[in-house]
Chain A
Amino acid sequence: MLRLGSRTFTDDQMLVMAIVNRTPDSFYDRGATWEEERALDRVHQVVAEGADIVDIGGVKAAPGEEIPVAEEIRRVAGFVAKVRDAYPDIVISVDTWRAEVGREVCQAGADLLNDAWGGYDPALAEVAAEFDVGLVCTHTGGVRPRTRPHRVHYDDVVQSAIRDTVALAERAVALGVDRSRILIDPAHDFGKTTRHSLEVTRRLNEMTATGWPVLVSLSNKDFVGETLDLPVEERLVGTLAATAVCAWHGARVYRVHQVVETRQVLDMVSSIKGLRAPSRAVRGLA
């Protein structure tokens, strides 16, 4: 059972987490939702499309202009409050590694702290415990936030991801975070080569076997682009192929740009697994 905000999800539900960037420079949308009105429009759209979670971020993952804490708070905290006002029951996640930001967004109504940089700021988990919100525990191989992988090496990337994320999850529990509100994320591309991300995808069942609910963030990432030699705007099909494999292996939450397409893939895989009835079944039965 997974609990996020006021919602409870059964073990066979797969959830779509829609990315909403309050950034001028993120790799995929390139500032499309930098203006608050555009970002709110994006929230309305993804909620209408069936997103279960919105993941609001104020700092792009790639290296670039340094964003001070106060600026990150300015970008996301007020916006979280507006989304909360508009949608009392939607699960609101905030993509941040900083405890100070976490505290502000929790006060504004966030339900989940998406610590995309692998516990770089150890106080973030304490904030999750203090506000009784959820926490995403990610694997980066120990790199600093907003750095690109450079000549990284793992003896076994999957074992490393499992060891680090489970350790972060257990630490969070020890700090008082509700066990049913914690997710682990192998963090494709973060501290990883393309082959590492492919291997993590191929062996994702080893991560789901830990029993912790697994979040995957695959959407239009470089490992898809390098695998297919395609620019960022042409990676949807590759993303959805990876999504299907992760769904087959039992991942629970999918952080995405394209909600509708992802939902279709998840529904299809869920039906192939026998967990979801077809929407309408007439063929051969009339």
Chain B
Amino acid sequence: MITAAAVCPHPPLLLRELTGQHDAAAELRAACRTAVDRVLHGAEHVALIGGAPAVPGTTRPDLAGGLPWSLRVGLRLLDDAQWTGPVELHPVADTTPTEECLRRGQDLAASSRPTALLVLGDGSARRSPKAPGHFDERAHPFDAGLVTALRSGDAQQLAALDADLARDLLAEGRAAWQVLAGAAAAQHTPPRVEVHYADDPYGVMYVVAEWRW
């Protein structure tokens, strides 16, 4: 049973010790904190879902170098929220096909435990000439669709995100969001949604949202 889901981005900037004397991500971190706090309320169990690089030629996440940024940031957000309950880690390789992502979401929803999801994902990193991946004109329409889907609690629209386009746009959230789409589709009702943040201060699209059932 999924009680709620928090959707947060996972730039390393959210790790405070990496950002320097001036906190370059204070507003974003505060928004994540709000979403996570609210989603954890009443939960007994947390499933952390985050994209990961794949072992070349496979759909398995490559964890040889440790946890991917998505799960590292997710664990930090849980620490910041002083979560001490059980946490299950679900790294999802960025090559995982949409169908498999949806199936994994359905499996999570089938659990008998009241579970909160913390879904880590970033939009395109090609939103401006100074963005990490420079500018790609497809980035804004892609992210606009993503934001609409997250704002409206639309699992189908998340499921429709194109995996190849997401990879081209360095949008590292696609697989994780589609796990969320699978879980949401298995619920009996659409979620109540709140979006706490949607901006691209450094050329990468960050969205913080909260879905509750």
Contacts and interface: CB of A to CB of B under 8 A. Distances in A.
B132 A277 contact: no
Interface string B170-191: 0000000000000000000000
Given A286-B125, A286-B204, A281 B132 contact: no
A7 interface: no
B21 A282 contact: no
Contacts of B125: 286
A280 B11 contact: no
A36 B204 CA distance: 55
A279 interface: yes
Kindly state the interface size class of chain B when it binds its partner.
10 to 19
A284 B204 CA distance: 11
B20 A278 contact: yes
A285 interface: yes
A285 B14 CA distance: 9
Nearest to B130: A286
Scoring A278, A282, A284 by chain B CB atoms within 10 A of each residue's CB, the highest score goes to A282
A286 B132 CA distance: 8
B18 interface: yes
B202 A281 contact: no
Nearest to A271: B20
Contacts of B18: 281, 285
A277 B24 CA distance: 13
B12 interface: yes
B13 interface: yes
A286 B21 contact: no
Contacts of A278: 20-21
Interface in A246-286: 277-282, 284-286
Scoring A278, A280, A281 by chain B CB atoms within 10 A of each residue's CB, the highest score goes to A281
Interface string A32-60: 00000000000000000000000000000
13 contacts: A278-B20, A280-B20, A281-B18, A281-B19, A281-B24, A282-B13, A285-B12, A285-B13, A285-B18, A286-B13, A286-B131, A286-B202, A286-B204
